[in-house]
Amino acid sequence: MRRTLLAALLAAAAAFGLYWWLTAPAAFALPAASREPDLVNGQEVFHAGGCASCHAVPNQGDRLRLGGGLPIKSPFGTFYAPNISPDTADGIGGWSEADFVNAVMNGVSPQGAHYFPAFPYTSYHRAKIDDLRDLFAYLKTLPAVSGRVRDHDLPFPFNIRRTVGIWKLLFMDDRPFVADAARSAQWNRGAYLVNGFGHCAECHSPRNLLGGLITAQRFAGGPNPEGEGWVPNITQKGIGGWSEKDIADFLETGDMPEGDSASGAMRPVIKNLAQLTDEDRAAMAAYLKSLPPVEGPKPPPRKQTGG
């Protein structure tokens, strides 16, 4: 009995040690800066990344007051977007540049804990470090907003941050963006924005039961991650009838070529994308138009209205 108990304890200790090793948050040291921050580029990155959509204080008109608090529903519970204003007590005013880059690219907090992947660092990991430095410098020019956001409302076991390390091993593609030499500079710029800061696949792709993107159906649409409605297919299977100009116009105005308009969660996204340069919207359109047709999940039939 003693030997059995000892063996069980040793096996449990080994299993826990393996779990602790596999789930360790991975951060990296930031290389020395090669130039001074570019605030104009930082603002462009801010809009491309949709920072205001999640982090602006809800129900007030200034989208640059990034005190957080927006509830983000998911199958795993409700997340609350944090304060990313330059407030030193409640925001990121006390962060170093390295803290910020590791948070955005690796989903690791300054305290060395995992962020939950409701924060789309799985896409932001493709960002260039200079772009993130510019974004951090731009954020520091915005108003400081006091107030700490409430904790996420997640049931057990989804509230265990350490286990996010396993999720990252399974689903986080940590490869950097690499330009395709066979494509134009415009196409590569669009690919960088759509797959990186734009994080379009995070909403426009179906997910598995653990919340990981189904890569074979990337951009093919699916159920709204927040639980209401359907996110459309943006491959040529879904928008094959749209021209590049149609796509670029939609990214600026939210107006579709068939006369409908963006609604729901896409409306604040359009507000962000409308602030981009014409060249960046055109680049995103060129890339999206190049996506091959991919069959996605079938949306539920529309409810018939009585008459």
DSSP 8-state class, residue 80? E
Under the banding of pLDDT at 50, 70 and 90, the label for residue 303 is: low
Apex 263 CA angle, 257 and 269, nearest 5:
90
- Identify whether 45 is part of a domain: yes
- Identify whether 247 is part of a domain: yes
Residue 32 neighbours by CB distance under 10 Å: 4
pLDDT value, residue 217: 95
pLDDT value, residue 91: 95
pLDDT tens-place string over residues 116-146: 999 999 999 999 999 999 999 999 999 999 9
In the predicted structure, residue 306 carries a pLDDT above the cut 70: no
**DSSP letters for 282-306:** HHHHHHHHHSPP---PPPPPPPPPP
pLDDT tens-place string over residues 163-212: 999 999 999 987 889 999 999 999 999 999 999 999 999 999 999 999 99
pLDDT value, residue 307: 46
- By CB atoms closer than 10 A (0-12, 13-18, 19+), residue 7 is exposed
pLDDT tens-place string over residues 27-38: 888 888 888 999
For residues 306 and 289, the model is more confident at: 289
pLDDT value, residue 302: 66
76, 161, 165 from 73: Cα distances, Å: 8, 18, 21
Q: Could you give the number of structural domains in the chain?
A: 2
In the predicted structure, residue 24 carries a pLDDT above the cut 50: yes
Question: Structure tokens of 294?
Answer: 């991919």
Task: Give the CATH number for residue 282.
Answer: 1.10.760
For range 108-122, the mean pLDDT: 94
* Whether 202 contacts 218, CB under 8 Å: no
For range 261-280, the mean pLDDT: 89
In the predicted structure, residue 148 carries a pLDDT above the cut 60: yes
pLDDT tens-place string over residues 223-237: 887 767 788 999 999
In the predicted structure, residue 305 carries a pLDDT above the cut 70: no
Cα separation, 118 vs 7, in Å, equals 39
pLDDT value, residue 227: 66
Residue that is written with structure tokens 């731009």 in the block: 138
Apex 141 CA angle, 136 and 145, nearest 5:
95
pTM over 0.75: yes
Examine the fold and report which residue of 176, 201, 233 is the final residue of a domain before the chain moves on.
176
Q: Answer yes or no: do 189 and 232 share one domain.
A: yes
For residues 257 and 107, the model is more confident at: 107
Percent of the chain with pLDDT over 90: 70
Which residues form the domain of 127? Answer: 34-176
List, in order, residues 6 or more apart from 223 with CB less than 8 Å away: 206, 230, 231, 297
Instruction: Tell me the residue length of the chain.
Output: 307
- Identify whether 29 is part of a domain: no
Examine the fold and report which residue of 150, 176, 202 is the final residue of a domain before the chain moves on.
176
- Identify whether 205 is part of a domain: yes
